[in-house]
Structure 1
Amino acid sequence: MSDALIDSLTAAVAARPDDVALRLHLAELLAGAGRAGEAIGHAAQVLARDPGNEAARRVMAAALPGEAPAAPSRPGVDWDALESEFEGVVPPRFAPAGAGDDAFEVERAAVTLADVGGMDEVKQRLELAFLAPLRNPQLRTLFGKSLRGGLLLYGPPGCGKTFLARAVAGEIGAAFISLSIVDVLQMWIGSSERNLHDLFESARSHAPCVLFLDEIDALGHKRSQLSSSAMRTLVNQLLTELDGVGGGNEGVFVLAATNAPWDIDAALRRPGRLDRTVLVLPPDATARAAILEYHLRDRPVAGIDLRALAAATEHFSGADLAHVCETAAEFALRDAIATGEVRMISQQDMTAAVRDVRPSTDAWFATARSVVMFGNASGEYDDLAAYLRKRKLL
């Protein structure tokens, strides 16, 4: 049998893996050429798609070493025996129990709250809600303080909500699991809900654990505004998991982040779920200086006045400040390319970059202003209203 013909058919099967007839023909040719292992692999793939295929069973029987097994009394394949016999040649049909336990990456964060510049009020809320009770088990027992619960971080984008969640886990040496909607959603009915359940089960098995739900407004949008029944079911599943039905959430602290808290389903924010809300604002002057220093520390700089730069970047988010440093580096790189002489990043570069970069938080506060003016009857955004008044935006 020509190896060239087998190679051509192998390429054709790779291009059309679901073509049962083509794959069966290849298996027959491989068996005739004495390449039993490859023939068995392709015959097994045919039987996986068409369990009653007699021709595939004959190829499998002919390729098996020793005596050919007697034909079964009824259509079927002893998959357990075949998987044991040809482990490594034919992949298993089903993953063994427990194989999906690590479907979600469990981290051990290296940063702590000391690495977070500013945000003193946010840190105090975290200390009272989770950190202090965890460090003081006797006082926790005395006051009946549970370690379960959730905290919703909201504010303009780029202000460090994700970094803060990671720092909480690092502060206590807890496991850290981060989840976004792309990790959950699947097209098959019920698969998204199962993914969400598996996520919470993973967090429970690694307690104490900080479970971070990024962009929670996408995962837990207001059900009254959803036209998809699948998405409404997913929100219901999230509510069930937060309640810990079927498995306690003790030791699982849920941190959620959003730029649009007004789009979150109200049921998610009732007591026992995401019952505490903290506004994460753009960094203050001290934090801005620390962020700028962090992003410049591995770059060639000279004569940088961090205090002056911090004063000139009021209302800049952490992401904006990182962009300022990147822009200043581009200015110095451009000059080096033009002149052929390498120079340091200077204060002049940084000042020019500050003029070139506009704060990205302004658009968010414009939207937030409308929410505070017309949608704050319950007072849940009073802290945001106070900040807007302080900036004379309200």
Structure 2
Amino acid sequence: MNIIVPHVGAIVTSQSLTNAANFLPPDVIGWEKWNTVLMHPETMAKLHILPRAPCWLTNIGANGDNNIIGVQCVTVWPCDEVKEIHIFFQKARINVKYRLNVVSTENIRKVSIIQLRPSSGKHFLPIYAKKHFRDYVAIYLCNGYLGINVPVYIYYYGQEHSFDIVLSETEMLKMLKISSDLSSAMLLRPKLDCAYHVVDNAVTSTVSSPLTFKEFGGAENAKKEIEEVLIKPLKGGKEACSVILSGYTGCGKTLFLHIIQECLQNKALWLSKREFEDFLENGAVNYDQKMALLVDDFDNMKQYNEKLCNFMDTYTNFSFVLAVRNVEAIDLPLRGRFPCELELLVPSLPERMEILHLLLKTKQLKLSSAQELIKDIAQKSHGYTGGDLKAIVHRVCTNFEFTGDKSELFQCFDVALKRIRPTGIRQFVLQVPDISWEDIGGNRELKMKIEQAILWPYRYPEIFKRFASKPPSGILLYGPPGCSKTLIARAIASQSRMNFLAVKGPELFSKWVGESERAIRELFRRARQVAPAIIFFDEIDAVGANRGNQNESHVGERVLTQLLTELDGLEEKGDVLVLAATNRPDRLDSALLRPGRFNLTIHVPLPDEETRLDILRIRLNQMKVSIDLDVEDMGRRTKGFSGAEVVELCNQAVREALLENRNADKLEFRHFDQALNEIIPRTPNWLLSIYEEFKRGATLDVI
């Protein structure tokens, strides 16, 4: 017998319906498509319910007994094709009695965040961790009503996925009723922008081994600290500290957060930008247990600083872990609410070896010389973050088939190291070319002096310890334009395999007050992060101009003062070297040249005849020239030329040959003879005299 009780429910009979999909709500998708019950409008009127009203549907058996064999949350929709006091439900069996219980609005709770867990006996699939799956779930459940003890079924690419809703014990007790009446049972109604998270069921999930800090190379202090201040307290049900996690891009902040989430399971919640904003706006809707909220890339969410402060003051059961690139960018009021600050540094040599070992292990490269390879890469990768090393290993393993040739594999890694620039110093680093001392003609004594000052302290530190001597912390290269000062610096970068941060003096100046000084501080901060490192200032006279010069601006004085302060800080920290180049040493402030700042000044003069011959031979080896070309005569005739002018002489000879004959295939002596009439040495004698006076230490009037 079918019964109707207004506002409460009814006993109805299921029926069949042809082309039922045509009678569903327009544009119906997802949960609503699978959980809509079609009902005659008169039946709905007698129940006093509106279209899309939520109800509980219970199968009570074909004989009307009370043996409950299934319960489902559904919504109703009018359909004239259904008989009165009957229903059509695509999951229902035909001619079976169902109990329909109307859900009152007071038993519906709107939520902004829902955690799901694979139902008992189901595995956590890798797809559940993907953003596009969470986005799909958000669309699928947008018009749904979810029961706290009823499985949530989601159809994804033709497969049914079953989940349970995860709630804290306290929240579960709040939502459970003593009465067995389904009409009083609580339902969750997702908001339009509700965020969804699928957590692993640790008891049943056997898909993959859990992610732990053993899979994170280096950062031992940070790993130990996060265990003590966050993970252990939360696992023990105690209050934990909020943490700011900082570090350059690629240092592992995101992986660090994922490991925290894996360690804490349902005691940690990852918030995207949209979810974070919604959390602050609507509060903690269905979470009151102690748990960690993980926020990656907080640099792009700083507009919520004030709201986050208020949230942390209101909801003390939450601990936040914010990942940022620069902790100094966080406002002090917010920063003061984080008792713990952890920094993931650019990995050191032992840490790079550990990271490479983990990376090569995941690639399953079976190498007899794996340790030798790891050590070789680690020694060449100063300043490379874990992300950079991962990109290098991926590039090699993707494009290389190991045939057993060890030298070929080492060569592939060398190529990858040159093509992938270190993230930590990308803003200031030159694209380091493969330049050796042999590519710079002549100046053998000069090269030895530079190598002794820069490379020996790192290659042979025991020599300096034996004599209790400190290597120079600053070296100044001065000389005429075009005499390879910058080329020497680039060769040092290539040969030393130290991190090389390069900046031109004028690039540091900004029209904004304080920005120029900040650029100096940031440059030295980065150098200390990736030490051992070389900072190369090209055109240092733009930054270190004499403060007695009336034309010098106040900005220049402040920048110089900041530079002097940073140079003084390097005296005790011998793993950062400052290398500078200038054409006008007479314009430098005398404070820059005292011992402890630029300890060593090296004159890079105009090339002598032997050096000019070396430059010509290097350049001519790249060209097709006549065998009767007298290179030594050209070396004598280029007296007073800078190195750049000697190279330009060769380029001009090419142009002369092409003017004479567009199809010319080699250079003749006459082409160089004609080029000598075009290329004129531009270094004035008064500039050379300045270098001589500076070399003697004489005081000069600035020109």
Q: TM-score range by the shorter chain?
A: 0.5 to 0.7
Residue 152 of structure 1 and its aligned partner are, at CA, apart by: 1.0
Give the drift of 1:287: 1.8
How many Å separate the matches in 2 of 1:236 and 1:324? 42
The equivalent of 1:297 in structure 2 is: 621
CA pair 148-205 structure 1, distance change in 2 beyond 3 A? farther
Counterpart of 2:645 in structure 1 is 320
SS in 2 for 1:308: helix
The match for 1:50 is none
CA contact (8 A) 1:155 1:281 kept: yes
Alignment counterpart, residue 574 of structure 2, candidates 244, 250, 275: 250
| TM-score, with length taken from structure 2 | 0.39
Other-structure match for 2:696 = 379
Residue in structure 1 matched with residue 664 of structure 2 by the alignment: 342
In 1, the alpha carbon distance for the partners of 2:640 and 2:462 equals 42
1:329/1:345 contact within 8 Å kept:
yes
Aligned to 1:262: 586
In structure 1, the residue corresponding to 2:324 is in which secondary structure? coil
TM-score using structure 1 length: 0.67
* Higher relative contact order (CA closer than 8 Å, sequence separation 6+): 1
- Structure 2 CA distance for aligned equivalents of residues 260 and 195 of structure 1: 23
1:172 paired residue number: 496
Letter in 2 for 1:366: W
Q: In the TM superposition, what is the alpha-carbon distance from 1:129 to its structure 2 partner?
A: 2.4
2:677 aligned with 1:360, yes or no? no
- Which residue of structure 2 lines up, in the alignment, with residue 236 of structure 1? 561
CA RMSD, aligned part only? 3.2
* Corresponding residue of 1:369: 689
Matches within 5 A, 1:155-194: 155-194=479-518
What whole-Å deviation, never above 9, does each CA across 1:163-202 have from its counterpart, x for those lacking one?
Answer: 1122223333222221102431111111111111111122
Q: Deviations over 1:14-65 (max 9, x none)?
A: xxxxxxxxxxxxxxxxxxxxxxxxxxxxxxxxxxxxxxxxxxxxxxxxxxx8
Post-superposition Cα deviations, 1:200-256, rounded to whole Å, max 9, x if no partner, equal: 1222222222221111111110112154211110000110111126x9542222111
| Cα deviation 1:283-321 (Å, max 9, x = unaligned) | 122221221233333333223322221111111101101
Aligned to 1:92: 300
How many pairs were matched up?
Answer: 299
Cross-structure match for 1:102: 426
**Equivalent residue number for residue 283 of structure 1:** 607
The answer to whether the Cα contact below 8 Å between 1:208 and 1:252 also exists between their aligned partners in 2 is yes
Structure-2 residue corresponding to 1:14: none
Q: Closer, same or farther in 2 for the Cα pair 1:216/1:299, shift >3 Å?
A: same
* Cα separation, 2, equivalents of 1:285 and 1:83: 70
One-letter amino acid matched to 2:696: G
Deviates more, 1:123-132 or 1:266-275: 123-132
Q: SS at the partner of 2:696?
A: coil
1:332 equivalenced with 2:635 (yes/no): no
Q: 1:294 to 1:188 in 2, by over 3 A?
A: same
Is 1:272–2:589 an aligned residue pair?
no
Hey, what's the Cα distance between the residues in 2 that align with 1:106 and 1:146? 27
- Between the aligned partners of 2:661 and 2:618, the Cα distance in structure 1 is 23
Task: Say if 2:543 is the partner of 1:351.
Answer: no
Code of the residue aligned with 1:96 in structure 2: it is V
**Structure with more helix by fraction:** 1
State the shift of 1:110 in Å: 2.3
Q: Cα deviation per residue 1:105-164 (whole Å; 9 max; x = unaligned)? A: 265552233333222332233244232232212122121222451111111100011111
Contact 2:649–2:675, Cα closer than 8 Å, also in 1 = yes
Distance 1:104 1:227, change over 3 A: closer
Match of 1:131 among 434, 439, 455: 455
1:308 lines up with 2:308 in the alignment = no
CA distance, structure 1, for counterparts of residue 275 and residue 620 of structure 2: 56
Change (3 A) 1:67 1:172: closer
Residue 440 of structure 2 contacts residue 488 of structure 2 at CA under 8 Å; is this kept in 1?
Answer: yes
Matched residues in 1 for 2:594 and 2:275: separation?
50
Could you tell me how far apart the structure 1 residues matched to 2:275 and 2:487 are?
45
For the pair 1:217 / 2:541, whether they are aligned, the reply is yes
User: Share of identical aligned residues, percent?
Assistant: 33
Structure 1 residues 211-220 or 94-103, which shifts more?
94-103
Over residues 317-340 of structure 1, what are the superposed CA-to-partner deviations in whole Å (9 max), with x where a residue is unaligned? Answer: 011011111111111111224xxx
Alpha-carbon distance in structure 2 between the residues aligned to 1:189 and 1:237: 14
8 Å contact from structure 1 (residues 147, 253) kept in 2:
no
Looking at structure 1, the residues matched to 442 and 536 of structure 2 have their Cα atoms a distance apart, in angstroms, of 21
Assess if the C-alpha contact under 8 Å between 1:168 and 1:210 holds in 2.
no
| Stretch deviating more after TM superposition (145-154 or 324-333) | 145-154
| Greater C-alpha Rg | 2
User: Where does residue 197 of structure 1 map in the other structure?
Assistant: 521
Flag the structure with higher strand content: 2
Query: How far did residue 80 of structure 1 move?
Result: 7.5
Check the 8 A contact 2:586/2:690 in 1, yes or no: no
For 1:100 and 1:187, the matched residues in 2 are separated by 26
Which residue of 82, 86, 89 maps to 2:274?
82
**Range 123-132 or range 221-230, more displaced:** 123-132
